[in-house]
Amino acid sequence: MRLFRPHSVTTEQLIEQYHRPLYWHIRRMVVSHDDAQDVLQETFIQIHTHLDELRKADSERAWVYRIATNEALQWLRSRHEFLSLEDDDASPLINTLMADTYTDTGDALVLLMQEAILTLPTMQRTVFNLRYYDEMPYEEIASVTGSSVGAAKTNYHFAKEKISNYILAHQ
């Protein structure tokens, strides 16, 4: 069952509907406000360019989030931070989190949780953010990440465990 009106949706409608949620999804991935703005702009360019492909998608939300996720991952790869994360070194993103003037550093527990999330492998971090912050069902997460529902559930489970352990170890 399709969750949208495939023949009447416009780029402007998608921008209006998804600007804020996609900004925060991208921001949680790339951390910096300025970088998130740049990636968001590229995301909407890609959405506009490939709008005809939306008609074939099962879910409008999964489709736009997949584009946003791919753009954010491409940005991370181009900055070599992605490679560092694959080696379990989250320090470049954590440093960006601490240095970003748009980060609220007033709540120590929230900041600690953000650090914990940034230490996760990329797929676990992406799945966790989609499930926890965007409250996306596992079926849509699987569509966004190009994985199976079982893999999405497994990644979320491991992510929750690692975040809890990180917070307990650093309090």
Q: What is the pLDDT along the chain (171 residues), one digit of tens a residue?
A: 444 444 578 999 999 999 999 999 999 999 889 999 999 999 999 999 999 998 888 899 999 999 999 999 999 888 765 444 444 556 666 666 655 555 555 667 778 888 899 899 999 999 999 999 999 999 999 999 999 999 999 999 999 999 999 999 988
C-alpha 136/C-alpha 43 separation (Å) is: 19
Tokens 């994985």 — which residue? 147
Looking at residue 123, its pLDDT comes to 94
C-alpha 123/C-alpha 84 separation (Å) is: 14
Question: Closest by alpha carbon to 145, among 132, 158, 131?
Answer: 131
Looking at residue 107, its pLDDT comes to 67
**Global pTM exceeds 0.85:** no
C-alpha 69/C-alpha 126 separation (Å) is: 8
Report in angstroms the alpha-carbon separations of 17 from 11, 14, 135. 10, 5, 16
The radius of gyration computed from the CA coordinates of the chain, to the nearest angstrom, equals 16
Specify the DSSP class assigned to residue 102: T
Specify the DSSP class assigned to residue 100: -
C-alpha 67/C-alpha 117 separation (Å) is: 21
Determine the distance from the C-alpha atom of residue 114 to the mean position of all C-alpha atoms in its chain, rounded to a whole number: 13
